[in-house]
């Protein structure tokens, strides 16, 4: 049986009564400074509106998540308001995050549909400027006591907005 964890759920360490001041709280300020430096260089986060799957309009882009891939009919879209209908057709829970892509590197999630169970769907309405992006699934599955990210298993798909 596998267990599923969102990628951002991390073990920050355990604080024990009477433990010396050498736990996670000492490196947390450094981590926050590092994250602040990354955000300054990152594009502004795009807020998406997540709605039920049946709220999608007729011109929504169908994105099908399977174990472990995204199936999309097109890889180019017009800049501006875009609506994605994400359907999870896999046996595992999945997410559909949109990240920027620059020089082959994936950025932080700009907007996302979080944790959709098998057989469920959701609609994401967002505005994307011209650029390179990717759909990624940020779920981590623990299988045979080894965590594996769904991205590592191949659940990403790049696309362009013009």
Burial of 150 (0-12, 13-18, 19+ CB in 10 A): buried
pLDDT for 145 = 83
Distance of CA 19 to the CA centre of its chain: 36
Rounded percentage of the chain residues whose pLDDT exceeds 70: 72
Helix/strand/coil for 3: strand
pLDDT for 144 = 79
Domain boundaries 3-7+21-161, corresponding CATH code: 2.60.40.420
Q: What is the pLDDT of residues 51-101, one digit of tens each?
A: 999 999 999 999 999 999 999 999 999 999 999 999 999 999 999 999 999
CA angle 76, 79, 80 (to 5 degrees): 135
pLDDT for 59 = 94
End-to-end CA distance of the chain: 43
How far, CA to CA in Å, does 86 sit from each of 18, 31, 44, 109, 135? Answer: 48, 33, 23, 16, 11
Report the C-alpha gap between 45 and 59 in whole angstroms. Answer: 24
**Looking at the predicted structure, is the pLDDT value of residue 152 above 80?**
yes
């Amino acid at each position: 049986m596998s267990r599923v964890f969102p990628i951002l759920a991390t073990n920050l360490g355990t604080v024990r009564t009477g433990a010396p001041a050498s736990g996670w709280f000492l490196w947390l300020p450094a981590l926050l400074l590092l994250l602040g430096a990354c955000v300054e260089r990152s594009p502004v986060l795009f807020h998406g509106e997540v709605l039920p799957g049946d709220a999608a309009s007729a011109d929504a882009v169908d994105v099908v998540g399977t174990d472990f891939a995204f199936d999309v009919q097109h890889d180019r879209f017009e800049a501006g308001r875009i609506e994605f209908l994400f359907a999870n057709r896999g046996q595992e829970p999945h997410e559909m995050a949109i990240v920027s892509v620059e020089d082959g590197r994936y950025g932080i999630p700009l907007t996302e549909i979080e944790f959709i169970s098998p057989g469920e769907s959701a609609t994401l309405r967002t505005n994307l400027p011209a650029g390179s992006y990717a759909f990624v699934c940020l779920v981590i599955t623990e299988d045979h006591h080894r965590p594996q990210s769904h991205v590592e298993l191949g659940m990403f798909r790049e696309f362009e907005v013009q």
